[in-house]
Amino acid sequence: MIDVPSPYLLFLGDAPDALAAKMAVASHRFRPERTIGQLRLEGCAVDLGVPDRTPDEAAARGARALVLGVVRAGGRLSAAWVPTLVAALDAGLDVVAGMHDRLADEPEVAAAAARHGRRLVDLRHSPWTPVVGTGEKRSGRRLLTVGTDCSVGKMFTALHLTDALRARGVDATFRATGQTGILIAGEGIAVDAVPADFLSGAAEALSPAAAPDHWDVIEGQGSLFHPSFAGVSLGLLHGSQPDALVLCHEPTREHLRGLPHRPIPTLSECVAVHLASARRTNPEARLLGVSVNTAALDEAGAREALADVSEETGLPAVDPARTGVDALLERLR
């Protein structure tokens, strides 16, 4: 387990949209008891609906850390964030981040942490010793969420599936593969930060051999169809050896995230390519259905989107936030 100090102040920085502040938004959604306020810079377009607080105010209310809940492309630290991180350390808080850059590599931040004896926690850099994947079969069962695109709800769906399995009395563990999931779960491996040679090895380590009726519910990353991240997605898919896949989809997306000229692949292509790839390490892999993120639609639009997806794929379609995930889990019997 990673010892994430909480409660914490969520730093949203200058996030232009909720996806840029995904780490803060998801932490507050799934672990609201840990939020002691938000801290936003000028230009921030996100509001968690909690009080804005300075590091000193948060510390006075019992905060133990500031969590850097905003990302930039490439997992880089923004110079604009440094004064806030230093102020947090000056206020006696630890700092938690999920970047590719390490907090201690920023001299001002490292100096402030040393000055106050505070911890710098880099969630994306797991204390895991890299090994190459073997593709060897492991006991226990595994479910992996995969996506038609990046940022379509793979972590969200995996968390809901884990809760729903447990509610049915199934022994299930959420397996975090990214910084936000690790913040929520307190453990995991950020697979996009491991040297590429060890991708499937990381996925194998993340869901080790388990009891035959235990389910690991593994958070997917990226998309097999996204030219920026498909390598990560394939290594995770092979190493996870999933018995079951759930395809996640955002029906209002007009193109791949960040790539205006790249269309979203068709659902039937997604189903076929994911099953073919998964069956290379688990010939029994099957797709339970589609988790559709209908947050951008009204109730009628959502119902229509779910019906369309179900008709196109011949599989159950759910939105965890509207319908729950029972229709997917029924197919596990």
DSSP string, 202-257: HHHHHS----TT-EEEEPP-S-TT-TTTHHHHHHHHHHH--SEEEEEE-TT--SST
With residue 156 as reference, give the H or E element that holds it: helix 154-167
Told to check if 263 binds a copy of itself by CB under 8 A, we report no
Stretch that binds a copy of itself, among 9-17, 19-27, 163-171, 233-241 (CB under 8 A): 233-241
Residue 268 vs 307, nearer CB to a copy of itself: 268
Of the candidate spans 88-96, 103-111, 125-133, 293-301, the one that interacts with a copy of itself by CB under 8 A turns out to be 125-133
* Beta carbons of 41 and 52 less than 8 angstroms apart: no
Q: Could you tell me the smallest distance in angstroms from the CB atom of residue 192 to a copy of itself? A: 4
Secondary structure letter of residue 331 according to DSSP: G
Please pick, from the candidates 157, 200, 291, 313, the single residue that binds a copy of itself as defined by CB under 8 A.
200
Examine residue 196 and tell whether it contacts a copy of itself (CB under 8 A).
yes
Is residue 100 within the footprint of a copy of itself (CB under 8 A)?
A: yes
Q: Per rule CB under 8 A, is residue 191 in the interface with a copy of itself? A: yes
Cβ pair 99, 68 in contact under 8 A: yes
Residue (of 149, 125, 11, 20) closest to 73 by Cα position: 20
Distance CA 26, CA 24 (A): 6
Longest Cα pair distance anywhere in the chain, in angstroms? 61
Binding of a copy of itself by 232 (CB under 8 A): yes
Under rule CB under 8 A, residue 81 binds a copy of itself: no
Which one among 81, 174, 215, 225 touches a copy of itself, defined by CB under 8 A?
225
- Bridge partners of 144, per DSSP, are 218, 245
Our CB check for a copy of itself shows the closer of 8 and 229 to be 229
Element (H, E) at 38: strand 35-40
Stretch near a copy of itself under the rule CB under 8 A, chosen from 19-27, 33-41, 161-169, 194-202: 194-202
Binding residues (CB under 8 A) for a copy of itself: these are 73-75, 100, 130-135, 191-201, 224-225, 227-236, 238-239, 258-259, 262, 273, 276, 280-281
